[in-house]
A and B are shown apart, each in its own frame.
Chain A
Amino acid sequence: MVTPARAPLRTDRLRAVNEPQLVTVELDDSGAPAAVGRLGGSAVGRIECINETWRIDDEWWRQIISRLYYEVMLEGGKRVVLLQDLITSNWFIQYP
């Protein structure tokens, strides 16, 4: 048999860095995140302030990505990025 022209992709050798991790988020009355917790139940921390919010809608031609991002400061001063997947409504944490 003639070997296929296209060599197999080697994406299996690549591991993504800073992948979003699933978390639970408590919302305040206005619908903004107020506290973050791990899936197991342990708390990550309460949110002291929201520094910035933005939305990304992309790749509508493939597998649509629609996310709402919040860059927040936790109690104690730690900065993290929370994102809500607007397709599944799941919350994730990511490090800036």
Chain B
Amino acid sequence: MTVSQAIGLCSTLRLIEPDPVHYDEQFAYLLAALSEVSPVVEAAELGLVYVGGDGLEGIYGGNHKIVDAIMSCVRRATCGVENDMSIATRRTPHAARVGWGVGKFTAWVAASRAKPSEAVVVPLGEERNFLAPQPIAVLPLDTDTHRRLRRLGIRTLGALATLPEAAITAQFGAVGRRLWQLAAGRVVEPVQGRVEPEPIAAALSFFSPVGERELLVHALDQLIARALKHPRRIGWRVHALRVRAELEGGGSWLTAHLLKEPTADAGRIAAPLRTRLELSPPVGGVERLVLEFTGFAPGTTELQLFARDAQAAARAGQQRALRSAAREIRMRVKGEGGRAVLYHIIEVQPWSRLPERRYALIDYEP
């Protein structure tokens, strides 16, 4: 349904702008809370998390106790209440659905069958019985395969699993084989614990909201250059990044990218961001722009990349020397009221017609 159709049906409809930064933060709270239950937490996508339960029986008890612990965590993360669970439940029941089963697929199907703020537990050995009546739509299908399966009269996982594996493979190839294995409960995909990244962030606050695309691109280029110079980046190429913008009037804008080839090249990092700005720019003036490198890949043996890392190492050497010099200057010169005496000039709005808005001083922290 389009917005205009919705307004046509309900004239008092109140439209709420999406706030992806808020969603992202809430999801981060959820991940942090879940990591207290299990050290193995895999964030599959926004709103979908797998929690590894192997070995937790000794801490919590049986499966139901582990599920209870997860539900408490979810409630705490989504309601923001630390101690009083009964109050949290009464006031704002969370909408999260929890599924427990062997392997990620079974757990996901179980969660998708659960009611909001409830859990479905599939006991060990019951996977096949549980999966059999489920519709084939729960499989990771493309529309064409889905249509073909329905035309063959296959509407449930059980119907698919009763067919010979070889026949499905012959009809649908490797994809079909995987679907058959999932439907038959033959695939047990373990939860992959996430590697804790140490993101590198660079931010820029504008004196007045900026809406022009080319100005945002310019600001992004600066942020990328700053983030690439960070000493923590030495020996690492950027693999995942995201940019968030705080908009005038309270909204936000977020874009996250996983680079096909990890890189330390500013141009290659900027390319997807430029495209995103072209295709769907922020819907309002940007007050603050934050770039984060959230995922990294180690440097390779390629000479070019080594050269880049050598440059990064040289920069780190300069950085150390600067840090030492800055420390000495601070010891010798005291600013008014203990304020910093060393500042760094940064471009803020170099395009501004008002000279005082073009550059700014920021505390210098080498």
- Do A and B associate with each other? yes
Residues on A close to B: CB < 8 A? Answer: 1-3, 5-7, 9-11, 13-20, 56, 58-59, 62, 65, 81, 94, 96
Q: How far is the CA of A5 from the CA of B20 in the complex (A)?
A: 9
Q: How far is the CA of A48 from the CA of B213 in the complex (A)?
A: 42
- Within the complex, what minimum Cβ distance (angstroms) separates B97 from chain A? 20
CB pair B359–A17 under 8 Å, yes or no, is yes
Q: From A62, which residue of chain B is reached at the shortest CB distance?
A: B208
Q: How far is the CA of A56 from the CA of B198 in the complex (A)?
A: 45
Q: How far is the CA of A94 from the CA of B359 in the complex (A)?
A: 14
Contacts of B287 in A (CB 8 A): 9
CB pair A94–B360 under 8 Å, yes or no, is no
Residues on B close to A: CB < 8 A? Answer: 19, 21-22, 25-26, 29, 79-80, 203, 205, 207-208, 246, 250, 252, 287-288, 343, 345-346, 348, 353-363
Residue A14 contacts which of B348, B354, B355 (CB distance < 8 angstroms)? B348
CB pair A14–B246 under 8 Å, yes or no, is no
Q: How far is the CA of A33 from the CA of B354 in the complex (A)?
A: 21
Q: How far is the CA of A19 from the CA of B201 in the complex (A)?
A: 29
Contacts of A2 in B (CB 8 A): 26, 79-80
**In the complex, how many residue pairs between chain A and chain B have their CB atoms under 8 Å apart?**
70
CB pair B360–A15 under 8 Å, yes or no, is yes
Contacts of B19 in A (CB 8 A): 5
Contacts of A65 in B (CB 8 A): 354
CB pair A14–B205 under 8 Å, yes or no, is yes
Residue B203 contacts which of A3, A10, A17, A58 (CB distance < 8 angstroms)? A10
CB pair A18–B359 under 8 Å, yes or no, is yes
CB pair A14–B252 under 8 Å, yes or no, is no
Q: How far is the CA of A35 from the CA of B131 in the complex (A)?
A: 88
CB pair A3–B25 under 8 Å, yes or no, is yes
**Which residue, of A7, A17, A65, has the highest number of chain B Cβ atoms within 10 A?**
A17
**Which residue, of A15, A58, A81, has the highest number of chain B Cβ atoms within 10 A?**
A15
- Within the complex, what minimum Cβ distance (angstroms) separates A26 from chain B? 24
Contacts of A9 in B (CB 8 A): 205, 246, 287-288
CB pair B208–A59 under 8 Å, yes or no, is yes
Q: From A11, which residue of chain B is reached at the shortest CB distance?
A: B205
